[in-house]
Amino acid sequence: MDIIKQLSEELSLKITQVESAVKLLDEGNTVPFIARYRKEVTGSLDDGQLRDLEDRLNYLRNLDKRREEIKSSIESQGALTEELAAAIDAAKTLAALEDLYMPYKKKRRTRAMMAKEKGLEPLALKFYEQTGAALPEVLAEPFVDAEKGVETVEDAIAGAKDIIAEMISDDAAVRGALREFLKKTALIRSTSEETEPGVYSMYYDFTEPVSKVASYRVLALDRGEREEVLKVSIECERDKALAELFKLTVKKGFSPSIDVVRAAAEDSFDRLIFPSLERELRSTLTENAAEQAIKVFALNLKPLLMQPPVKGRVTLGLDPAYRTGCKIAVVDATGKVLDTTVVYPTPPQNKTEEAAKKLTALIKKHGVSTISIGNGTASKESEIFVADLIRQIDVPVSYMVVSEAGASVYSASKLAAEEFPQFDVSLRSAVSIARRLQDPLAELVKIDPKAIGVGQYQHDMPKNRLDQALGGVVEDCVNTVGVDVNTASFSLLSYVAGIGPALAKSIVAYREENGHFTSRKQLLKVPKLGKKAFEQSAGFLRVAESDDPLDNTAVHPESYKAAEGLIKLCGLAKSDLKTPEKMGELNSRADLVGRVKLADELGIGLPTLNDIVTELLKPGRDPRDELPPPMLRSELLDISDLKPDMVLQGTVRNVVDFGAFVDIGVHQDGLVHISRICDRFLKHPSEAVRVGDVVKVKVLEVDAKRKRISLTMRDIEG
């Protein structure tokens, strides 16, 4: 099938949309650029649809490449028939292709090969015909040849069976049918010699149909097997599987050869087909589970990165610890470090009063209004200390516990050393924790996405695929928000469409050498930043210092003329861009003139016109500001304070296949099982909640000893 047509059907898109998107991608355009600035061409495909299309396009093109390699290999062996070529062309999956190629692959020396070397292939083919009344012993007699190693009639029959067994195993139709049979009926089973309770307790004696097993269970079984705690296998009803096999290989009738073929088919299943399909099925389960886990990770990563920043506040970052003390960093509203220190309010020192005096002095000296606490070791004790401190001082301060996942990775990195050469590793971590509250996106892009910790089994995922998926999410987030070219770090710039690490370094170097950029056009002076890179990146880079206010919007330079024309046609002046009250009239004026008419006069599409209007209404806007703000606290509960039916507000910290973990301010996240998220049926929790959501929950059950809190989002009054 034509790839464009196949993509159209699979992704439920118009053929024209697919053709346009593929053409744009092949021309070297980035997904964020196409999604934002080529809406008319693609029919407004968003970044998610474009990434799905790009992934599938690459798979199908690789499939076609493999198809041609297989045909070329078989042709070089002089074995490519029209029928086989047609079957190869019709194969829709890699597994189906490899099945067709199996008889022609170079194999290590097999029992069938040795039997063929002894001249037994004609006998095998005679048996496989399953016709005639001659006994197998009679047919085999002419093939007894001591010089070739066929000492007896029994040796000849055994060799012929080996050849038939391999013929059956190499048959694409046989493998395809048994593969589908196993997918539908096989069980995955795990056992263990362990008897003590542990991480894998529920899998010590576990069985589930492979067609129903949840992806997170597959990943748990795989890990348990790698750690040699579990033994995992695929089981099937052998008699039923053989019945399926016999339907395809054993003819009906009364020929004595039928029994030979039946025995060979049974041997083929036990020795060749089932072990091969078991490995393949395990591999497929793992691949599918990994893909699902990667999707969940990507789904969680986006709202985490897009959490609204806590702007305009001087923030104190607190990196908790026991023996070595809590590292403190105060940063101003722009993230610049103002002060650092170390306090010891936690065991074993317990210097609470001294720590309180130090922090109170810092809060008053720098006008701190928010405290950002890392959620690692000693976090609970640190949170109790901060909550008590807030109650005692006469300054309005609130706090939030933030995930410090990846903070240690960042603080020990070369990037952190370059950014803060004067600080040791732990103080760098405190700065990062403070900045995570102020601008999560700008800080988290400095860390390997898989170290951020909003998924399940991320360290078991295929590295390249995980990096590709998560990198795409980070890229989409960075470009959705936009980047101030004069303040952005190298890390942030490297995710801008069309830039990448090399050009990001060039931009930073140019900025350091020549001072702040004063216009978007000036980007073309950056070494190696050519017209194509400018086209892809310019709309996502903001220049607040520019004399042209359009340089601080998401309006692309290619649309400046249209934007200026729009302003004029709506009876406004370009200088009004700096007067929000006047620009507030743009929406109603555009409607009054007529948007379709405006788009026609300006020579642009309606989607582009609407995007320009949105940008001009709020120049330099941050889309994250339109989201609910993060939940700041000034007091703390203990897990012992929780009682069934207590209703609380919390923040969703992680979404996994079986539910959502919610921070309710007791240091231990509670679990809302998927069945308790809402009244309707959910295939996945992400259909109803996402990371960062502030939700109302009711306590169902508390197990303080095991630190487990069961919550519900259903049946909550008010």
What is the structure's pLDDT at 460? Answer: 77
Residue among 348, 345, 305, 313 nearest 331 (CA): 313
Per-residue pLDDT tens for 489-505?
A: 999 999 999 999 999 99
Residue 642 predicted with pLDDT over 90: no
Distance CA 292, CA 290 (A): 5
Place of tokens 């395990």: 282
Mean pLDDT of 597-605: 94
Checking 275-278 for CB contacts under 8 A at 24+ apart, the result is 276/169, 277/175, 277/178, 277/179, 277/182, 278/182, 278/233, 278/234
CB 344 within 8 A of CB 350: yes
DSSP state string for 255-287:
-THHHHHHHHHHHHIIIIIHHHHHHHHHHHHHH
Per-residue pLDDT tens for 49-102?
A: 999 999 999 999 999 999 999 999 999 999 999 999 999 999 888 888 998 998
Per-residue pLDDT tens for 525-556?
A: 999 999 999 999 999 999 989 999 999 999 99
Which CATH superfamily is 3-104 part of?
RuvA domain 2-like (1.10.10.650)
Mean pLDDT of 358-381: 90
Residue 691 predicted with pLDDT over 90: no
Distance CA 47, CA 302 (A): 12
Residue among 522, 574, 513 nearest 546 (CA): 522
Distance CA 95, CA 180 (A): 12
What angle is formed at CA 118 by the lines to CA 114 and CA 122, rounded to 5 degrees?
105
Place of tokens 């991480």: 199
Is 192 in a helix, a strand, or coil? Answer: coil
What is the structure's pLDDT at 206? Answer: 96
Binned at pLDDT 50, 70 and 90, residue 453 comes out as: low
State the helix-helix crossing angle for 238-249 and 257-268, rounded to 10 degrees. Answer: 130
Residue 396 predicted with pLDDT over 80: yes
What is the structure's pLDDT at 718? Answer: 54
Question: What H or E segment, with its residue span, contains residue 22?
Answer: helix 15-26
Domain boundaries, the chain: 3-104, 314-482, 555-619, 639-712
Residues 6+ apart with CB under 8 A from 97: 63, 66, 67, 70, 88, 91
Residue 242 predicted with pLDDT over 60: yes
Counting residues of the chain whose pLDDT is more than 70, the rounded percentage is 97
Residue 635 predicted with pLDDT over 60: yes
Mean pLDDT of 326-331: 95
What is the structure's pLDDT at 274? Answer: 97
What is the structure's pLDDT at 116? Answer: 95
Distance CA 617, CA 158 (A): 83
Per-residue pLDDT tens for 506-522?
A: 999 999 999 999 999 99
The one-character DSSP state at 633 is B
Q: Which residues pair with 209 in a beta bridge?
A: 187
Residue 407 predicted with pLDDT over 90: no
Counting residues of the chain whose pLDDT is more than 90, the rounded percentage is 63
Residue 447 phi/psi, 5° resolution? -115, 145
Distance CA 107, CA 91 (A): 22
Per-residue pLDDT tens for 576-595?
A: 888 878 888 888 888 988 99
> Within 13 Å, how many C-alpha atoms sit on residue 504's CB side?
17
Distance CA 587, CA 577 (A): 13
> Within 13 Å, how many C-alpha atoms sit on residue 27's CB side?
13
What is the structure's pLDDT at 456? Answer: 66
Distance CA 297, CA 655 (A): 8
Tell me which of 3.30.420.140, 1.10.3720.10, 3.60.20.10, 3.60.110.10 is the CATH number of domain 314-482.
Answer: 3.30.420.140
What is the structure's pLDDT at 317? Answer: 94
Place of tokens 């048996």: 127
Residue 1 predicted with pLDDT over 60: no
Among 154-163, 185-194, 229-238, 284-293, whose mean pLDDT is lowest? 284-293
> Within 13 Å, how many C-alpha atoms sit on residue 32's CB side?
27
Distance CA 542, CA 563 (A): 16
SS3 readout for 139-171: HHHHHCEHHHCECCHHHHHHHHHHHHHHHHHCC
Residue among 432, 530, 527, 434 nearest 489 (CA): 432
Which architecture characterizes domain 639-712 according to CATH? Beta Barrel (2.40)
Residue 665 predicted with pLDDT over 80: no
Is 607 in a helix, a strand, or coil? Answer: helix
What is the structure's pLDDT at 610? Answer: 94
Place of tokens 């006047």: 582
CA distances from 400 to 171, 304, 409, 410 (A): 62, 15, 21, 21
Peptide bond into 348 cis (omega under 30): yes
Residues 6+ apart with CB under 8 A from 431: 317, 329, 331, 337, 340, 420, 423
CB 172 within 8 A of CB 87: yes
Residue 634 predicted with pLDDT over 70: no
> Within 13 Å, how many C-alpha atoms sit on residue 60's CB side?
19
Residue 687 predicted with pLDDT over 70: yes
What is the structure's pLDDT at 108? Answer: 85
Checking 545-551 for CB contacts under 8 A at 24+ apart, the result is 545/486, 545/516, 545/517, 545/518, 546/517, 546/518, 546/519, 546/520, 547/518, 547/519, 548/519, 548/520, 549/574, 549/577, 549/578, 549/619, 550/577, 551/519, 551/520
Distance CA 467, CA 461 (A): 10
Among 42-46, 157-161, 269-273, 665-669, whose mean pLDDT is lowest? 665-669
Is 265 in a helix, a strand, or coil? Answer: helix
Is 187 in a helix, a strand, or coil? Answer: strand
What is the structure's pLDDT at 31? Answer: 96
The one-character DSSP state at 704 is T
State the helix-helix crossing angle for 238-249 and 172-185, rounded to 10 degrees. Answer: 150
Residue 307 phi/psi, 5° resolution? -55, 140
Binned at pLDDT 50, 70 and 90, residue 620 comes out as: confident
